[in-house]
Amino acid sequence: MTDKKSQQKNDNNNIDPDKFREMVTELAYLKAEKRGFVAGHELEDWLEAEQEVSNQCHDGSQEV
């Protein structure tokens, strides 16, 4: 039996890392833009974008 974290790690191996990073970068930028580029939220934007892209990839709603 595998736990959720190890399953997610295995799923991430099927994603092209360059494409994944590109998608996260774009989404994090859009989040910052929406907030008016107020400083101090860069890590939050990045982590949220990373999670959202990861979810999209695992749900099959986004081909990478």
Question: How far is Cα of residue 1 from the mean position of the Cα atoms in its chain?
Answer: 26
Give 58's pLDDT tier (boundaries 50, 70, 90): confident
Name the domain count of the chain.
1
Q: Supply the pTM of this predicted model.
A: 0.69
Per-residue pLDDT of 31-45, as tens digits, reads: 999 999 999 999 999
Q: Which residue has 């590109």 as its token pair?
A: 22
Please check whether residue 26 lies inside any domain of the structure. no
Has residue 7 been placed in a domain? no
In a domain, 44, yes or no: yes
Whether 8 is in a domain gets the answer no
Domain that holds residue 56: 37-64
Average pLDDT, the chain: 81
49 is a domain residue: yes
Q: What is the pLDDT of residues 1-28, one digit of tens each?
A: 444 544 444 444 577 999 999 999 999 9
User: How far is it, in rounded angstroms, from Cα 53 to Cα 55?
Assistant: 5
Among 58, 59, 60, 61, CA closest to 11 = 58
